[in-house]
Amino acid sequence: MIELTNVRKEYGETLAVEDLSLRIPTGTLCVLIGPSGCGKTTTLRMINRLVEPTSGSIRLDGSPVETRDVNELRRNIGYVIQQVGLFPHMTVSQNVATVPRLLKWDKKSTAARVNELLDLVGLDPGEYGEKYPSQLSGGEAQRIGVARALAADPQIVLMDEPFGAVDPLTRDILQSEFIKIQRKLKKTVVFVTHDIDEAIRMADTVVVMQEGRIVQADSPEDLLARPATSFVRDFVGADRALKRLARFAVADIMVPAEGLGVDLEATEIASEYRFPWVVDEDGRFVGWVDTDAVSAGTTVGEALHRVVAAEFCLREEGSVKDALSRMIHEGVQSLPVADGDGRLTGSVTLAAIQEFSTRGTAL
């Protein structure tokens, strides 16, 4: 748990951070976001004492940071910055081993830990361990930056625009990989960015800052549903409804659905829809029929419009935003949801998405 209480930082006449109070529960990822000069980086740097606050207190699990030896404190807090700051005269392995070395771990456990971390960030230790930073791409360098920060297994990790300097495609990959790592390791992460999409994607809590103060601290869903001020509303953007839908999974709004069997006689079709879905004997989605076009004496199977389930069906873990996008693209009012084996598990309707979006809560 990171607790900032009435923290204030002045640089001469200028006020960088003004009486800021914030609690970041253990194991959650808190994003500090705001325009340049809003005090987000200053706030982050006060946690590991790279900046000393003018007044107020910062506690980590109850113990005030100013009572701890500054280097000992920092060795127990991971630190990742935008420019990465790898040591150019050291190999990748030596870079990752920085904090274990400072903590005087023995060589064997350090080497084992380095390999473990390179694996964690998706780089082959054999291939990358002996490379120098100048031989790495921007994305690779930042993976090493993350590995180096996690080397001594700190409970807290500070990240200052870690993915800000890489191209959008690499950024997207790094973000999803870090989300996976975070799900596994459950660190307490303070993450500074000015990219609202990144904030919404990564955060458990988004803290929007303006001129040294917190304007709103909320879950991404609530922030998007109820921006506290016009500043936040502008900051999250006009497409906040869509961004919000991106935070929810199809599973959150789907309802159970049944499909017609392929052997069913056309005359026995009793569906409230014109285009009911069809499943095979194992419950796998196979396509749909047009009830206006079937003639007596045929089976559903014979009138079937066959589609590839994996392409046509939504997945439960897919985002509601993507579901909506599919509906608009296909021009349909509802879409089937299937599991990994292609079995029909439910449906999502356009009406349900609209209602969900207006009400602002999950069903």
Question: Contact positions toward another protein, by CB under 8 A?
Answer: 48, 50, 70-76, 79, 81-89, 98-99, 102, 145, 148-149, 158
The minimum distance between CB 98 and another protein, in angstroms, equals: 6
Closer by beta carbon to another protein, 82 or else 110: 82
The minimum distance between CB 99 and another protein, in angstroms, equals: 5
Closer by beta carbon to another protein, 83 or else 271: 83
Q: How far is CA 165 from CA 84, 142, 144, 198, in A?
A: 9, 9, 14, 13
3-state secondary structure of 135: helix
Closer by beta carbon to another protein, 60 or else 278: 60
Other beta carbons within 10 Å of 114:
23
Closer by beta carbon to another protein, 193 or else 210: 193
Closer by beta carbon to another protein, 96 or else 209: 96
Closer by beta carbon to another protein, 29 or else 149: 149
Per-residue buried b or exposed e for 27-57, using 16+ beta carbons within 10 Å of the residue's own CB? ebbbbbbbeeebbbbbbbbbbbbebebeebe
The minimum distance between CB 131 and another protein, in angstroms, equals: 13
The minimum distance between CB 235 and another protein, in angstroms, equals: 27
The minimum distance between CB 108 and another protein, in angstroms, equals: 21
The minimum distance between CB 79 and another protein, in angstroms, equals: 4
Closer by beta carbon to another protein, 144 or else 353: 144
The minimum distance between CB 21 and another protein, in angstroms, equals: 24
Among 199, 179, 190, which Cα is nearest to 35's? 199
What's the CA gap between 113 and 74, in Å, rounded?
19
Helix runs in 103-167, H state only: 107-120, 125-128, 138-150
Closer by beta carbon to another protein, 102 or else 111: 102
The minimum distance between CB 102 and another protein, in angstroms, equals: 6
